[in-house]
Each structure stands twice: as C-alpha cells, then as structure tokens.
Amino acid sequence: MVQKWDIVIVGGGLAGYVAANYLAKTKMSVLLVEKSKEVGGRARTNKIHNQYFNLGPHAFYKKGKAASIVEELGIQLHGNSPQLGGVLVENDIEYAAPFTPSGLISTRLLNWQERIEWVTVMMKISKMETEKVAKLTFEQWVGQTAKSKKVQSLLYGLGRLATYCHAPEKASAKVILSHVKAVLGGVIYVDGGWQTIIDQLQNKAVISGVHVQTHTTVKQITPVNGHLKLTLSKDEEILAKYVICTTGPHELAKMVSEEVSLFADSTAVKGATLDVALSQLPNPKRLFAIGLSDPLYFAVHSNYARLSEDGKSAVLHVFKYHHPDEHIDSKKVQIELEQFLEMLQPGWQRYVITSRYIPQIIVNQRLPQVGDEYKLHRSKTELRGLYIAGDWASPHSILAEGAISSGKQAAEEIIQKEMR
Ligand SMILES: Cc1cc2nc3c(=O)[nH]c(=O)nc-3n(C[C@H](O)[C@H](O)[C@H](O)COP(=O)(O)OP(=O)(O)OC[C@H]3O[C@@H](n4cnc5c(N)ncnc54)[C@H](O)[C@@H]3O)c2cc1C
C-alpha cells in the first residue's frame, strides 16, 4: 500500500518547521521528511565539549518578519542584544566603529565631512522605502548615495554584516537595504543557540499531529493522477496532494527533473566560519569587529547568550564572506581567520577549549539579484501542488527572514486553496 498524505514537507529546517506548525492547525495529514539524522538544517546547534556552536555566527533580527511569525507560533526566544560599537579593521589598523554616538565622535576613520555624510546616509536608510530601489544593484545604490570612498566602504561592510552577501555588483539593493534596516532594529543572540528555536517548533508540530521522518532523502517528485509521487531513499514511494519543498534550488531541480529549473543555476551566498570556545578572552573588551579592506567578521556571542553548559567560557565566531566567483583556498582562508582573531584577541590559542573550521558553507541558497521576483513567481506555478519555501524562496528577504516568511506563506497558500 502506498502511503497517502495531504501534505509532505521536504526538509526539517526553519522553513519546513514553520510551514509544519501552520499546517498542524488544520485537519490535513502532514509528514515532514528530513534527509539528515538530526533536524534543524542550518539553524542547528552542535554541542561540542559542552559548548553550543551554531553553524557560524547566528543573530536573530528583533524587528523583522521572522520575529513576529515566531512569536505568533508561541516560540520563546531567550538571549540578549549585543551592544553596537566595536571596531572596524582597515589594512590591519583598528578604528572605532561609528555605529554609536561615541564611536562616531571618536573614530579616526572618517573626517568631519565624511561623518556628516555617514549620518545622513544612515538616516536615509532608516526612512527609505526599499521597493523604490528594486531595479538597482547594491553597488549602484551605494555609488549614487555616497561620495566618500570611506562611507562607501562602510556601507559595503554593513551590507555584508546584515546579509552575508559579498557581491555588491550583483546583489539587489532592495534586499540588502531591507536587511540593513532590520539589523538597525537590533538583533538577539539566542541562549542555547538556534537549535532551541527548532526544538520548540518541532515539539509543537509533533504534539499537534505532524509526523516527522528523519534520515530519509526525497529523491524524486513526479506528478501522478492529480497527486505528487515522492520517491524516497530506499525507493519507497508515497503520495501527497501538496508538497512543500524547502531544499535548495539545485536539489529541487534534481528532484523534479527539468520542470522547476529556473534557479538550478543560481548562485549561493557562501562563507568560511571559524567557531571557537575559549576558557577566557585575552582581551575581554574586544567583542566585535568587522573588516573593511577584507571581508571579515568577528564577534563574541557568549557575552550576550548562554552558549556553554557552565556559562563560563567565551564562544566566538570569526567569519569570511566569500565572493561567488572566488576560488577558495581553504588552508589560506583558515590562516586568514586565525590571524584576524590573533590581532583582536592576541594569544587566544592558549585558551582554546574547542574549535571548528568550515571553509565553505552555504549561508543563503540564493544571492538575491535584481529581477529574481519574476523568476520566483514563475517557478512557483510550474508543477501543480508543489510549493517552494526556504531562504531562497522569498522575493523580498533572505536568511531566516526569507526561510521563515516563505514557510508561513507556502502553508497559507495551501490552506487558502483547500478552503476554496
Ligand atoms: C554561517 C551561517 C551564518 C548565518 N547567520 C545568520 C544570521 O545571522 N541571521 C539569519 O537570519 N540567518 C543566518 N543564517 C541563515 C539561516 O541559518 C538559514 O537561512 C536558515 O536556517 C535556512 O533555513 P531553511 O529551512 O531555508 O534551509 P535549511 O536549514 O537548509 O533546511 C533545509 C533542510 O532540507 C534538508 N534536505 C535537503 N535535501 C533534502 C532531500 N532531498 N530530502 C529530504 N531533506 C532534504 C536538509 O538536510 C535541511 O535540513 C546563517 C547561515 C549560516 C550557514
């Protein structure tokens, strides 16, 4: 007997579990299939030597769409907001970051004219309607908005910080700037890591009747007599009236052969992460830094969130934003990250409890580009009953914002369709 479900959700990350939670409120039968043994996708947290490591630095926007959806679903987010401030690094020289009034006054990075331009641009961003720049790349917008090279370089740094995208000549100004606006509203580092969000979503879904099958890969999705047939890892077959696919576009294209191939050649946003737990910080005052001449990031997350069993260690992340066309020399990047950390926390190696280096990780499945809206719209309608969600599937946002809002949207579209 082939099992029949009303809805099968492919992927147990944020998008999949958010969709599952909305659908759990209906009478429809829901199965969530996840290929890994563990659920969570890229929002997973690993406990290593009693330290909680997110997969690289993870900050949750306090005022974004995702925050209101998570709240609507009754998910508790515990943790604190990092203070703004910190340093900017340009050609190995540290400067106070002009993100706070005192940083703005004290920084030697900008002259007075540049300070005024920086403040004017920041005010412009906070008030802007990002839809108005939908036809521009981030580079074009920066070029039109700021004259000073220093202010331009600060804007690129802020854009990377907010979106992880390091290709201003390709990236959509609308998406980058809407995320910059969200970041300016503050972020939270979550106690226990993002796994706590996943665990709550999973518990709520399961209690409400959603079935979860881990360690199972969906290999193929094919239309059969008004339903969708899913072929699973061991060639088991199941049928569904609707499928929400939250995998990346490449996996999706493989599953459905040619039909949803519009994004099969899309570029992902990638980076390298060095996740480190130290028994103590050599320089406890240095908690945050971003590179301007090099696309680098450093932040101590444990000062604002409990990220170890005993709450005593320092859990920090050093990150390099990769350009999509760049060849990655993994060893070279590791040395670069370690040297950046050495500059900010001299002698850190003496205090290492544990560390993990990932040279290339997909941060977002799609680098948001001008015109993606139209492609996304088309790809949605090509296979009846198939809905896409995930951090690449929203035309307006990426990262957790995109994953969570597209998960909700896919679920709502199905619910509305059923009600008609
Ligand atoms: C280093 C790093 C830093 C980040 N920082 C931030 C941040 O600060 N703020 C922020 O908002 N976001 C951040 N993100 C992004 C955020 O983690 C992701 O956007 C989000 O977790 C993606 O969720 P998703 O459900 O779309 O995809 P995923 O989490 O990738 O989930 C998809 C799931 O589908 C499963 N799957 C794939 N193929 C199949 C198949 N054939 N069959 C069954 N299952 C399958 C996968 O195993 C996976 O579990 C960061 C990501 C990384 C990597």
| DSSP structural state of residue 224 | E
Dihedral (Cα; 250, 254, 258, 259), 10-degree rounding: -80
The residues near 79 (Cβ < 8 Å, ≥ 6 apart) are: 60, 188, 189, 190, 191, 304, 305, 306
Q: Is the CB–ligand 1 distance for residue 190 below 6 Å?
A: no
For residues 82 and 298, the answer to whether their CB atoms sit within 8 Å is no
Give the pLDDT confidence score for residue 266 in this predicted structure. 78
pTM of this prediction exceeds 0.95: yes
Beta-sheet strands, E only, within 307-351: 314-321
- CA geometry: angle at 304 spanning 303 and 307, to 5°? 75
291 lines ligand 1 (CB under 6 A): no
**50-64, 127-141, 179-193, 246-260: which range is least confident on average?**
246-260
Return mean pLDDT, the chain: 95
Each residue's pLDDT tens digit, 15-38: 999 999 999 999 999 999 999 999
pLDDT in tens, 241-259: 999 999 998 899 889 875 5
Neighbours of 340 (CB within 10 A): 22
β 3-10/30-33 pair status? parallel
Distance between CA atoms of residues 367 and 164, nearest Å:
9
Q: What is the pLDDT of residue 420?
A: 84
As given in the structure block, the two tokens for residue 86 are 């910190």
Q: Is the CB of 391 under 6 A from ligand 1?
A: yes
Residue 287, pLDDT > 90, answer: yes
User: What are the φ and ψ backbone dihedral angles of 136, each rounded to 5 degrees?
Assistant: -105, 150
Ligand 1 centroid to 346 CA: how many Å?
Answer: 33
Q: Say if ligand 1 is within 6 A of residue 359 CB.
A: no
> CA-CA distance, 57 to 323, in Å (whole number)?
18
Cite the DSSP H helix spans in 185-307: 195-207, 249-255
pLDDT tens figures, 68-89:
999 999 999 999 999 888 999 9
Q: What pLDDT, on the 0 to 100 scale, is given for residue 227?
A: 95
Q: Residue 132: which of 122, 120, 117, 144 has the closest Cα? A: 144
User: Per DSSP, which regions of 332-416 are E strands?
Assistant: 352-364, 386-388
Q: Which residues, other chains included, contact 128 with Cβ-Cβ below 8 Å and sequence gap of 6+?
A: 177, 181
Which tokens hold the place of 372? 């993606």
Do 289 and 89 form a contact (C-beta atoms < 8 A)? yes
**Best of 46, 58, 196 for a ligand 1 pocket test (most atoms within 8 Å of beta carbon):** 58
CB of 268 shorter than 6 A to ligand 1: no
Q: Is the separation of the CB atoms in 358 and 282 below 8 Å?
A: no
pLDDT value of position 228: 96
Residue 384: burial class (beta carbons within 10 Å; 0-12, 13-18, 19+): exposed
Of all protein residues, the one whose alpha carbon is nearest to atom 34 of ligand 1 is: 11
Write the pLDDT tens digit of every residue in 298-350. 999 999 999 999 999 999 999 999 999 999 999 999 999 999 999 999 999 99
- Ligand 1 centre distance from Cα of residue 2 (Å): 30
Instruction: Name the one residue in this structure whose structure tokens are 């796994």.
Output: 195
pLDDT at 295: 98
CA of 14 relative to ligand 1 center, distance in Å: 7
Indicate left, alpha or beta for 92 from its phi (over 0: left) and psi (-120 to 50: alpha). left
Cβ of 244 less than 6 Å from ligand 1: no
Residue nearest ligand 1's atom 30 by CA: 41
pLDDT, one tens digit per residue, over 367-391 is 999 988 877 765 565 688 999 999 9
Element (H, E) at 91: none
86 close to 289: Cβ distance less than 8 angstroms: yes
Binned at pLDDT 50, 70 and 90, residue 265 comes out as: low
List, in sequence order, every residue forming a beta bridge with 319; answer none if it has no partner: 273, 297
The confidence band for 127, taking pLDDT boundaries of 50, 70 and 90, is very high
**CA of 42 relative to ligand 1 center, distance in Å:** 4
* 206-229 confidence digits (pLDDT tens): 999 999 999 999 999 999 999 999
Q: How far is the CA of 370 from the centre of ligand 1 (A)?
A: 23
Mean pLDDT, residues 91-101 taken together = 96
Residue 247 Cβ < 6 Å to ligand 1: yes
Q: Which residue has the higher pLDDT, 235 or 178?
A: 178
Kindly indicate the confidence band of residue 263, based on its pLDDT and cuts at 50, 70 and 90.
low
What tokens were used for 245?
A: 């696919």
Q: Tell me how far apart the alpha carbons of residues 138 and 55 are, in angstroms, rounded to a whole number.
A: 27
149-163 helix and 138-145 helix, angle to the nearest 10 degrees:
140
C-beta of 266 in contact with ligand 1 (< 6 A): no
| Confidence bin at 275 (pLDDT 50/70/90) | very high
Q: Ligand 1: distance of its center to the CA of 30 in Å?
A: 21
How many angstroms is it from 19 CA to the middle of ligand 1?
14
CA distance 76 to 67: 10
Q: Is 150 in the pocket of ligand 1 (CB under 6 A)?
A: no
The reply to whether ligand 1 has any atom less than 6 angstroms from the CB of 73 is: no
Q: What is the mean pLDDT of residues 113-123?
A: 98
- pLDDT confidence bin for 400, thresholds 50/70/90: very high
CA of 43 relative to ligand 1 center, distance in Å: 6
Q: Is the CB of residue 193 below 6 angstroms from any atom belonging to ligand 1?
A: no
Atom nearest to 319 CA in ligand 1: 1
pLDDT for 306 equals 98
48 C-alpha to ligand 1 centroid (Å): 20
